[in-house]
Amino acid sequence: MSPLTLIGIKCAVVLALFAGLYGYGHHNGVKATRALWDADKVKVAAQSEAAILAAQERYVRIQKFNEVTARKASEAHEKAISDLQAQYDAARAAIRAAGGLRISRAICTSQDHGATTTAGAGRSDDPAATTVALPDETERRLLELSREADALAERLRALQMWIKGAGLYGPGDELPAAPGAK
């Protein structure tokens, strides 16, 4: 064997050794990189799971809070409607005891509409000071309209209080005070 052949064989062996080392190192490097990626994936999955659990717990707390807020608002609304009905019934009784709703004769254009004419509780019994009783149907419709308006106002007040109780107003937003409230 010639010395060049021996050098060629030695070079081939060294190259094969380096190729083997490179392959082994590359394989180990890929495995290490995958292990790091997998560790990151596990970490991200754990963080995601923790975030999902926290969001579920927050949702449950919000749901319970909303149920309590809605129940309080509903109870307050039912009580207010009951109070309005009692006030309405008392007003109807007072109107009946006073002989019905009456208006000044001066604003009536005709006296032929079933209205009765009697002297009012004015300071004098001048014809201009006399009053006319409204027909029963008109009186009933006016009182019913008043009751519906009061019930609607109460419903809107209850909704406004629910919104405030639920914290749906942004920072600095304030509800206007209810008429007559301190």
Inside any domain, residue 160: yes
Instruction: Determine, yes or no, domain membership for 151.
Output: yes
Whether residue 172 contacts residue 99, with contact meaning beta carbons closer than 8 Å, is answered with no
Q: Which of 23-27, 55-59, 165-169 has the lowest mean pLDDT?
A: 165-169
Asked whether residue 182 is domain-assigned, the answer is: no
| 115 within a domain of the structure (yes/no) | no
At 127, the pLDDT band (50, 70, 90 cuts) reads very low
User: Number of structural domains, the chain?
Assistant: 1
Asked whether residue 177 is domain-assigned, the answer is: no
Angle formed by the axes of helices 3-97 and 136-165, to 10°?
Answer: 150
Q: If you average pLDDT over residues 41-65, what whole number do you get?
A: 91
* Residue 162 near residue 73, CB atoms below 8 Å: yes
Q: Report the percentage of the chain scoring pLDDT > 70.
A: 81
Question: How many other C-beta atoms lie within 10 A of the C-beta of residue 2?
Answer: 7
Q: What is the pLDDT of residue 48?
A: 94
pLDDT at 130: 78
This prediction has a pTM of 0.50
Q: Is residue 115 scored above 50 in pLDDT?
A: no
The pair of structure tokens assigned to 162 is 């629910």
Average pLDDT estimate for 63-69: 86
State the residue range of the domain holding 147. Answer: 3-97+135-165
Distance in angstroms (rounded) separating the CA atoms of residues 164 and 173: 10
**What is the rounded CA–CA span in Å between residue 21 and residue 18?**
5
- The answer to whether residue 174 scores a pLDDT higher than 80 is no
What residues form DSSP beta bridges with 122?
A: none
pLDDT score for 46: 92
Specify if 117 maps to a domain. Answer: no
Instruction: Please check whether residue 147 lies inside any domain of the structure.
Output: yes
Pairing relationship of beta strands 102-104 and 117-118 according to DSSP bridges: unpaired
With respect to residue 175, please indicate whether it lies within any of the assigned structural domains: no
- The whole-number average pLDDT for the span 153-174 is 77
Is pLDDT at 128 greater than 50 in this prediction? Answer: no
